[in-house]
Amino acid sequence: MKKNNSFFLFHLNLAFSSIEDSLHEEVINKCYFPLLEVFSNNDIKLGIEISGWSLEKISELSPKWILAFKELLSQNKCELVASGYSQIIGPLVPYEVNIKNHEIGLDVYKKILNVIPETVLVNEMSYSNGVAEIYQEIGYKNMIMDGDNLSLSLNIDKYDFFSKRYCAGSNKKNKVKILPTDSIIFQKFQRYAHSNLSKEEYINYIKELIKDDKRLALPIYCNDAEIFNFRPGRFAEEAEIENDEWHRIENILKVLKTIDSHKILLPKEICDQLDVRDLEHLKIDSLSYPVPVKKQRKYNLARWAITGRDDSYLNAVCNSLLNKKNYPKNVNEWKELLYLWSSDHRTHVTDSKWENVTGIIKKKNLDNFDESKIYEKNASSFEKIQDHKNIFEYKNLIEIKTDAFFVKFNKNKGLSIFSAGLIKDEKEFCILGTLEHGFFDNIELGADFFSGAFVMQDMKDANLVTDLVKVDPVISYQKEVIALSTDFKIGKAIVKKTIFINIKKMSINFLYSFNDRRRSRETIRLSAATIKTDEMKYINFNVHSKTGSNIAHKYVLDREFDHGLPVSHRVSSSSGLPSTDGELKFEINGVGFDVCWDTSRNSFYPLFSYKKDKNGNLVRLHLSEQEIDDTSKPSGTNRSLEYSIKFNKSN
């Protein structure tokens, strides 16, 4: 009789955001030792994923656990699954950081366990095309990733997805086999262990799933180990420990052993049954969901990019340290930087852990971190002018125009861009700007859609603040740069908006300067670009972005979406397209422009939207500096925000 495959994978993480360092030994004794004992006593194989950082900590605190784990590895009863030295969100960090994270992680695995893993777990199930290429370069053979969200990203029915076999990566190297997990299945296991499901209910549920012979393997459990006989303390509503949960798990393992229609294997043993030449190549090119993440949509990538205590600041600081002279210069400094880049500092991090992180940063002498203030001082030395050969004013518009490009700013709407684009044969070809109320037929699109604007939504009292006010800007210039300056208010705080137009480089630089305003529970988005062309019904659009590797991948519009729509009243956005080098390259009907920012100053998270209408297509980009979710505890003050739009010469 053919037997279907199944597997277990436990994620061990002493860096768990809400677990204090003083509790590490308790976690090892209550969670990690019972894990090994329960499975080894029942002669059931399991995968254990652990970061190099956590492995070092366990090695210091409990050499006995390391010996027990090594023994099971030698007997082929356990498989070590990699995740790097630190649990880092791959699509959010630069190529060299991803590479170093895995190289140092492998060195730690070899040193402590004398094992080099061939299977890797996608950290927080945050997958991108770039992450797959990192795994290829490191040499992993297999990856474990959430199948539910991969199917959503590919716009494939879940059951069709699980009936196929996939690999990923570029065509230049051996592709990586994909072993998919299922969130609902592991959440059922948790509910049983936490006494929310009876043994009979769970056994009936899992027996039905075992019958499914279309799956590559049944992922019985693929999640945290620290939630059994222990509570990490993330949520006030965490369930009480009613019974010995490892005993309940052992009861299920004993039943699973008696089911003849399946066999429990190690993840690598399942993948070894596949020939990579027979697998479908998985590549994500849809802009609607370019980076799938674990479980339900509330866990989207913004969770580690721009929420938490101050993720945007922490990510920018990490990039700034990466670019700092003579740092990191050795393995220990790399480990320190990788520790700062840990995902757990970006979610439910405790006060003491946050103080430790900020303490490390203060010692790095990044006093000039907000260098935008220097640029602002330079702007004050610009010469104020009334007339300039490239400046034209009429009605409510200020136009800056050369033989090659043009941009028109609306003085009645806070110097937002009314239209901008290239000039060829003395004819203007608009690429982006403002689509005014009434352009679209659908009442849901019955509004103005701006470029070059600021939008802040207070999530406590629903107040909306924008810079779309009537202004009388100061105009100045220096060499080939023209500057427009104005200001607006957020409550009593004054925000200065300065726009630098480099007529030689055909670039528009936006700078928002805040005066020590305290951050609050709000979303902060810059309406960077709304596509505006003469052919709004036929927009041939694509955007290139780096998502963890050194290759910029192309993403296209294949279905309607809006990354900025809230998932719930607690989660303000649903997805986005990260750019690890701060550069988005657009092509619109054969014409190109770039949106760029310095990642060592601002850690923007790009939110796109795409809506169809009989009068044309609405395509927009917001650069978000702050979103809101269950991890949000905004701290500190608002920093200067700066980005640029650069037009590429037309052929």
In sequence order, what DSSP letters do the residues of 37-58 get, joined into one string?
A: HHHHHTT--EEEEE-HHHHHHH
> What pLDDT digit, counting tens, does each position of 327-349 carry?
899 999 999 999 999 999 999 99
Q: What total number of domains does the chain contain? A: 2
Element (H, E) at 525: strand 522-530
pLDDT by residue (tens digit) across 436-448?
999 999 999 999 9
Distance CA 528, CA 521 (A): 22
**pLDDT category, 3, cuts 50, 70, 90?**
confident
CATH number at residue 569: 2.70.98
| Contact (CB, 8 A) for 587 and 639 | no
- The answer to whether residue 299 sits within a structural domain is no
Q: H or E stretch including 133?
A: helix 129-138
Confidence label for 285 from pLDDT (cuts 50, 70 and 90): very high
Over pLDDT 90: what percentage of the chain?
85
Task: pLDDT band for 365, please (50, 70, 90 cuts).
Answer: confident
**Region 198-214 average pLDDT:** 94
| E strand or H helix at 172 | none
Q: Which two tokens stand for residue 532?
A: 């505006």
| Within-domain flag for 236 | yes
Same domain, 398 and 513: yes
Partners of 556 in the β-ladder: 286, 542
In a domain, 326, yes or no: no
Together in a domain, 376 and 272: no
Structure tokens at 474: 């100061």
Beta partners for residue 512, in sequence order: 497, 641
357-372 per-residue burial string, b: 16 or more CB within 10 A, e: under 16:
bbeebeebeeeebbeb
Q: What is the mean pLDDT of the chain?
A: 93
Of 222, 251, 284, the residue that ends a domain is: 284
pLDDT class of 606 with cuts at 50, 70, 90: very high
Q: Which of 56-65, 508-517, 540-549 has the lowest mean pLDDT?
A: 508-517
More confident residue, 194 or 383: 194
- DSSP labels for 26-37? HHIIIIIHHHHH
Does 374 have pLDDT greater than 70? no
CATH of the domain at 246: 3.20.110.20
Residues 582 and 456 reside in one and the same domain: yes
Could you tell me which residues are beta bridge partners of residue 424? Answer: 427
Verify that 195 and 78 share a domain, yes or no. yes
Residue 334 lies in a domain: no
Final residue before a domain boundary, out of 263, 284, 305: 284
* Residue 649 amino acid letter: K
- In this prediction, residue 76 has a pLDDT band, given cuts at 50, 70 and 90, of very high
Looking at residue 369, its pLDDT comes to 56
Q: Please, are residues 603 and 305 in contact by the beta-carbon 8 Å criterion? A: yes
Per-residue pLDDT, averaged over 628-646, amounts to 94
Q: Which of 338, 358, 288, 351 is nearest to 89 (CA)?
A: 338
Mean pLDDT of 306-312: 95
Is the pLDDT reported for residue 371 higher than 60? no
> Which tokens hold the place of 330?
């050795």
User: What average pLDDT does the segment 390-395 reach?
Assistant: 92
Same domain, 275 and 393: no
The reply to whether 169 falls in a domain is yes
Is residue 358 domain-resident?
A: no
Single-letter amino acid code for the residue at 264: I
The whole-number average pLDDT for the span 58-68 is: 98
CA–CA dist 378, 550 (Å, integer): 34
Mean pLDDT of 509-532: 94
Tokens representing residue 221 in the block: 């459990």
Look at residue 461 in the predicted model and tell me its pLDDT. Answer: 77
Same structural domain, 560 and 444: yes
Flag whether 346 is in a domain. Answer: no
- 334 close to 341: Cβ distance less than 8 angstroms: no
Non-local (6+) Cβ contacts of 71 within 8 A are none
For 587, other C-beta atoms within 10 Å of its C-beta total 15
Q: Are residues 564 and 431 part of one domain? A: yes
Query: 543: helix, coil or strand?
Result: strand
Boundary residue ending a domain (284, 299, 320):
284
If asked whether residues 554 and 422 sit together in one domain, one would say: yes
Q: What CA–CA distance (Å, rounded) separates 184 from 205?
A: 11
Are 648 and 429 within 8 A, CB to CB?
no
317: its two tokens: 């600081």
β-pair partners for 10? 48, 223
Residue 375: pLDDT over 90 = no
Say yes or no to pLDDT of 376 above 60. no
Is 525 within the bounds of a domain?
yes
First to last CA, the chain: 65
Mean pLDDT on 39-67: 98
Same domain for 383 and 280, yes or no, is: no
Q: What is the domain extent for residue 87? A: 4-284
How many Å apart are CA 75 and CA 611, to the nearest integer?
56
**From residue 578, how far is each of 85, 214, 302, 582 by CA, in Å?**
22, 34, 9, 8
